[in-house]
Structure 1
Amino acid sequence: MVKQERAARTRDSLIRSAAEVFDQGGSSAPSLTLISSRAGVSNGALHFHFASKAALVDAVGESALVRLLAVANGARQPGQGQVQLLVDATHALAGALRADVVLRVGFALSGDASRAAGTDLRQHWRSWVERTVRQAEARGELRRGAGVREAVMAVVAVTMGFEVLGTRDAAWLSASTVAGFWQLLLPTLVSADVLAAIDADGSHGVRALYGVR
């Protein structure tokens, strides 16, 4: 058990170190020696866990997906509507992208056209958004005439735009930027009575959980 725990910690450390190196210089140039050195382990230990750099890159993407799903599902609060969940999840995602290098690099890898197909975080995010919007529609939260397809397109396009732009300027991932988007979109998406109950700044629970300010 102790060996398994130590191996798991080493693997996690290598994934994080790889993400830090990729975040600074991309996934193609850095050497495995640099990654193992940053993790404080030998090259042999790295190769024990990952047969190649491609395998390590894939592991970063897979770890990022776990983190993405944890962020999205962790935004759920008791008694919360689906539209508020969507608002909260976008705030939580922006906060996590600012703080979590593995998640940030996972998204960057999804947009790397030179990389062989792997975990596509943007597609997973799109699927999660679509499920949530459809559940909002089924619960009567959307205003009459609001298109599910158009709502999904708007949320995914804008949040993924924030993700890309946020790699150069963290202001794109700020709570005020996310809230501004929702203040613009919500009146076209939900009825006035539903709108009155939604906090575009994110609910108190998600602000506390993810440090949204």
Structure 2
Amino acid sequence: MVKQARAARTREALVRSAAEIFDRDGFSVASLTAISSLAGVSNGALHFHFASKAALADAVEEEALTRLLGVADAELPPGASRVQFLVDVTFGLTRALSSDVVLRAGFGLSGEACRHRRVDLYGRWYEWVEEAVRQAEAAGELRPEVSAQGVVTSVVAATVGFETLGARDASWLSGAAVNRFWSLLFPALVPADLLADLEAGGTGSLSR
């Protein structure tokens, strides 16, 4: 049991260190020596857990997916607005991207053209937004003339854009940036009689 616990801690340290190196240097430039050094383990210990850099990247992506689902699978409060819930989750995602290097590195790896992806974080996020918008449309929370698919496209494009730009300038992953996006979108998206009940700045724990 002691050996198993030690092995699990070593693996976690390697995944975390790999995420930091991938986030800083990118997959192509990142070296296994830098990753093992940051984790405080030998190259031999690294290879015991991961056969290659690609295997490490897969592990980072898989852990990032778990963290993405932890944000996206938050429970909708009873009677809550579906649109507000969508807003709050986008705040939760950008907040997590700002603070969680594993999640951030996972998205970065998903965008790397030089490697085969086992996990498609962008695709999973798209699917979540698509379902959230479908529920909002079914609940009558979108203007009749609004294209639900257009909303999905806008939200995914904006949030993925925040993630990409945030790699160079952290202000793109701020609550202010997300607030500006929703403030601009709300009038075109939501019936006038529902606008007063929505908060472009987010509500609840996801946006704080």
Tell me the TM-score normalized by structure 1: 0.92
1:12 equivalenced with 2:12 (yes/no): yes
- Cα distance, 1:12 vs. partner? 1.3
Match of 2:162 in 1: 162
Match of 1:89 in 2: 89
Unpaired runs of 5+ in structure 2? none
- Cα distance, 1:173 vs. partner? 1.1
Partners in 2 of 1:101 and 1:194 — Cα distance?
37
Partners in 1 of 2:5 and 2:143 — Cα distance?
51
Amino acid at match of 2:33: T
Partners in 2 of 1:157 and 1:106 — Cα distance?
18
Counting aligned pairs with the same residue, the percent is 60
- Cα distance, 1:23 vs. partner? 1.4
Match of 2:150 in 1: 150
Match of 1:172 in 2: 172
**Larger displacement relative to structure 2 (119-128 or 28-37):** 28-37
Amino acid at match of 1:130: E
Match of 2:64 in 1: 64
Unpaired runs of 5+ in structure 1? none
Match of 1:186 in 2: 186
Partners in 1 of 2:136 and 2:191 — Cα distance?
12
Structure 1 outlier segments of 4+, above 6 Å:
none
Deviations 1:65-111 (A, max 9, x none): 11111111237445422111110011111111111111111111111
Deviations 1:147-181 (A, max 9, x none): 11100000001111111111111111111110110
Partners in 2 of 1:69 and 1:183 — Cα distance?
26
- Cα distance, 1:15 vs. partner? 0.6
Partners in 2 of 1:190 and 1:141 — Cα distance?
6
Q: Is the 8 A contact 2:166 2:172 kept in 1?
A: yes
1:29 equivalenced with 2:29 (yes/no): yes
Aligned-partner SS, 1:74: coil
